[in-house]
Each structure stands twice: as structure tokens, then as C-alpha cells.
């Protein structure tokens, strides 16, 4: 969200530094303004029993996150955006990426998952992988004060099609991008392109 790690040879205190790992020649510092992050220490054998990890769905770029997995795990009563945001369904998809994934898939975020068709599942899975790989290539998405480990910003924000663009014209159809709130989070979509 807003936290980051930085590497320094000589430590210089900054507000919101919470943890310092001392290595032989460098220090790894965890800084987290909003305090969403946390650190837990485990022995190698205990990691798989961590409650936070046990509850996570598959990594979105792994082969486990595929059409078959998606289709076999639609036994929930929710809408497609909330399903994608659910970390027990798929790990690590954040709010920004879910809006972008659904735009690329031409699916309205409030659509109930029982109305998602098989070909749309394939579009969603493919969009997840394409968008995340492109974002990684561009260093992530910097909105406000997020930085990556070397304190560079992420340039995927320049590729956003709907997120943060409420009231602006859709790049595809020129209709206005709409902003709604779902489960306390902002959702952006094009009501013409996404049905």
C-alpha cells in the first residue's frame, strides 16, 4: 500500500521507520506510514503453517491460477470485483488492478459471479496475467506516496485505463468513466464497455 523497504550502507532515521535488519555491509529498513504491513519470523519448517499464508489463494501469475481453478471456485455469493479482491480466492490482487482487469475483460465490476460465462473467465485470467506482467515490467503503480525498494516510482500508473479517471472519457468508447464504492473501496469502470 504505502510501505516500502530501503537499503542503506549507513542508517539515517526517517519518520515511520519500524524495523531495521542489520547485514554485514548494509541495512534493510522497513518504513510504513499507514502501518498496514507487519513482519513475522518463522523457522523454515513453520512457514507453511502461518495463518496468513495458509488462507491465501494461488499466486495470480502461477499455473494454479487458471480457468479450471477459477471455474471450480465460483461457489460464493458475491460480485466479480469482490471475488477478485478476496485474498483467499487469489493472492495479491489489489484494488487498482482489479478495476483494470475487469475493464480489459469488458465485465462490469458489480456483476454477480453466477452470471460470469466460461469465455469471460478465460478473459479475466488472461487479463490478470497480462496486466500484472506489464506492471512488473514498468515498476508497479505509484499512486500518491508509494515507492519501490530503490525509491523509484512505478510507471504503470501511466497505463491505467479506468482507475482514478472518474468523469474522464473512456479511451475506447469516449463515454465517461464511472466511480462507485464497493466494500468500502473505490471502483472505476466504463458503463458502455463493461457489461
SS3 assignment, position 66: coil
> Residue 137: enclosing H or E segment and its boundaries?
helix 118-137
Provide the pLDDT for residue 77.
92
Least confident of 64-68, 149-153, 154-158: 149-153
Q: Is residue 43 part of a domain?
A: no
**Confidence class for position 76, pLDDT limits 50, 70, 90:** confident
Identify whether 178 is part of a domain. yes
* pLDDT attached to residue 45: 86
Nearest Cα residue to 93 out of 124, 117, 50: 124
- % of the chain at pLDDT higher than 90: 69
Mean model confidence pLDDT for the chain: 90
Question: pLDDT-based confidence at 154, cuts 50/70/90?
Answer: low
Residue at 35 is within a domain: no
Residue 38 — very low, low, confident or very high, per pLDDT cuts 50/70/90? confident
DSSP notation for 72-88: HT--S-SBHHHHHH-TT
| pLDDT for position 138 | 80
Query: Residue 96 falls within a domain, yes or no?
Result: yes
Q: What is the pTM of this model?
A: 0.81
Q: Is residue 28 part of a domain?
A: no
Polymer length of the chain: 195
C-alpha angle 153-34-139 in degrees, rounded to nearest 5: 20
CATH of residue 121's domain is 1.10.8.50
Q: What count of other Cβ atoms lies within 10 Å of the Cβ of residue 94?
A: 13
**CA-wise closest residue to 126 among 56, 65, 79:** 65
Q: Residue 24 pLDDT more than 80?
A: yes
Kindly state the average pLDDT of the residues 166-192: 97
Q: Which residue has the cell 483467499?
A: 88
pLDDT band at 164 (very low <50, low <70, confident <90, very high): very high
What are the pLDDT digits (tens) for 97-135?
A: 999 999 999 999 999 999 999 999 999 999 999 999 999
Q: Which pLDDT belongs to residue 142?
A: 60
Structural domain span for residue 172:
57-190
Rounded to whole angstroms, the Cα distance separating 1 from 85 reads 14
In a domain, 125, yes or no: yes
**How many domains is the chain built from?**
1
Amino acid at each position: 500500500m504505502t510501505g516500502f523497504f530501503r537499503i542503506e550502507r549507513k542508517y539515517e532515521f526517517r519518520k515511520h521507520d519500524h524495523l531495521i535488519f542489520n547485514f554485514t555491509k548494509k541495512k534493510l529498513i522497513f518504513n510504513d506510514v499507514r502501518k498496514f504491513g507487519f513482519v513475522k519470523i518463522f523457522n523454515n519448517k513453520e512457514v507453511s503453517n502461518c495463518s496468513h499464508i495458509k488462507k491465501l489463494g494461488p499466486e495470480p501469475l502461477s499455473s494454479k491460477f487458471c480457468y479450471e481453478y477459477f471455474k471450480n471456485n465460483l461457489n460464493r455469493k458475491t460480485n466479480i470485483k469482490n471475488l477478485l479482491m478476496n485474498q483467499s480466492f487469489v493472492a495479491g490482487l489489489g484494488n487498482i488492478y482489479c478495476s483494470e482487469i475487469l475493464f480489459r475483460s469488458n465485465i462490469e465490476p458489480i456483476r454477480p459471479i453466477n452470471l460470469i460465462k466460461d469465455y469471460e473467465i478465460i478473459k479475466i485470467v488472461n487479463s490478470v496475467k497480462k496486466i500484472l506482467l506489464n506492471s512488473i515490467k514498468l515498476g508497479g503503480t505509484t499512486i500518491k506516496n508509494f515507492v519501490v525498494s530503490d525509491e523509484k516510482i512505478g510507471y504503470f500508473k501511466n497505463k491505467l485505463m479506468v482507475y482514478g479517471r472518474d468523469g474522464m472519457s473512456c479511451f475506447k468508447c469516449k463515454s465517461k468513466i464511472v466511480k462507485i464504492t464497493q466494500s468500502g473501496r473505490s471502483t472505476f469502470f466504463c458503463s458502455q464497455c463493461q457489461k
